[in-house]
Structure 1
Amino acid sequence: MGNSGGSLTTRATRELHGLMREAGLTGIDDTEALAEDWQVTDFSDAGQRSLSALVQRTGTPAVLVSFHDSDVGFIEALTPDGIGWEGLLNREMAESYEIPLEHFPIESAVADALAWSAAAGLTPDEEAIRHTLTGSALFAEELSSALMVALGLPRATS
């Protein structure tokens, strides 16, 4: 059985773990520092509207990916100004779970991801975003990592 938790990528904020708990995220793990004050934190479960509550509390853009048994990733992203998007990773596996793919149109997700990335002060790669949203992998976490790079998020610090 694979990962059924998720990951949150956001700008560094003091007391992030406390703010994550207040926003309804549970099972919070250690935070990995990325360059340019970004960070990624794994969690075991997110409540409904957790991302919105967290972005309001931190005042920073964020991307939350929830995994279903490491097979599928559900993406939510939001900026403090309300620019957001949703997407789906590993569509082929999602289809085997009978997740309605029409609820996750690719072209609007790509366009919205580009807008979110620009609003977050990042430089996205449109084709790489499209590739992660249409690609398949053994583990959805692989596509999630590739998506973060495609959105223009910096890599981990040394």
Structure 2
Amino acid sequence: MGNSGGSLTTRSTSTGELHQLMRAAGFTDIDDTEALAEGWRVTNFGDAGRRSLANLVQGTGAPAVMVSFHDSDVGFIEALTPDGNSWEGLLNREMAESYEIPLEHFPVGPTVAGALAWSAAAGLTPDEEAIRQTLTGSALFAEELSSALLAALGLPGAA
């Protein structure tokens, strides 16, 4: 069985502070944190509440992107900036279809536009074609596409 938790990427001055803010925002089973560059960090978690992302962005004052995984097969993306710029998306569409997830709820064009706007609002330099490829591509594990998405969004230090 694969990963059914998620990953959160945001800016924070320290891992300890980020974990504390995540717990306060409603994230559970907070695990490994990887430091990227320029204060960006990727933290794994077990579960998040309905408003956890919004609560975290409000608490940190920093943009964030969260990917919730379904058995490592599918990734549900939510991203938000402090000024309310948000978007949602889906990773591993082919696998999502096998789970009967309605792909029409995650149209690629508007998702790419939202990702580009979020990235610009976060002060990053995105790669539009790479974003589109991660949103339409397939992989054995959705986590692979999630990592590619972070790099495509322009997160410094993302591989």
Give CA-to-partner distance per residue, 1:22-67, whole Å, 9 cap, x none.
Answer: 1111000131111111011000111111101100011000000000
Give me the whole-angstrom Cα distance separating, in 2, the residues matched to 1:112 and 1:32: 25
Structure 1 stretches of 4+ moved >2 Å: none
In the alignment, structure 1 residue 135 sits paired with structure 2 residue 137:
yes
Does the 8 A contact of 1:11 with 1:61 survive in 2?
yes
In structure 1, stretches of 5+ residues that fail to align are none
AA of the residue aligned to 2:34: E
Identify the residue that residue 43 of structure 1 maps to in structure 2.
45
Residue 5 of structure 2 corresponds to residue 5 of structure 1:
yes
Given that 1:78 and 1:116 are in contact with CA atoms closer than 8 Å, whether structure 2 keeps it comes out as yes
Q: Which residue pairs with 1:125 in the alignment? A: 127
Task: Write the letter of the residue equivalent to 1:12.
Answer: S
CA deviations on 1:116-158 (whole Å, 9 max, x unpaired) are: 00000000000000000000000000000000000000116xx
Cα deviation for residue 74 of structure 1 reads 0.3
Q: Over the residues paired in the alignment, what is the CA RMSD in angstroms? A: 1.2
What amino acid sits opposite 2:88 in the alignment? Answer: E
Which residues in structure 2 correspond to 1:72-151 (within 5 Å)? Answer: 72-151=74-153
Q: Percent identity?
A: 83
Q: TM-score, normalised by structure 1?
A: 0.97
Separation in 2, partners of 1:127, 1:13: 31
Indicate if the aligned counterparts of 1:13 and 1:58 stay in contact, CA closer than 8 A: no
Is the 8 Å Cα contact of residues 12 and 60 (structure 2) preserved in structure 1? no
TM-score, normalising length: structure 2: 0.96
2:29 counterpart of 1:55: no
2: distance between equivalents of 1:78 and 1:60?
9
Unaligned runs of 5+ in 2: none
Is 2:28 the partner of 1:26?
yes
Aligned pairs, number: 157
Counterpart CA distance in 1 for 2:12 and 2:21 is: 12
Q: Which amino acid aligns with 2:92?
A: N
Q: Is the 8 A contact 1:65 1:76 kept in 2?
A: yes
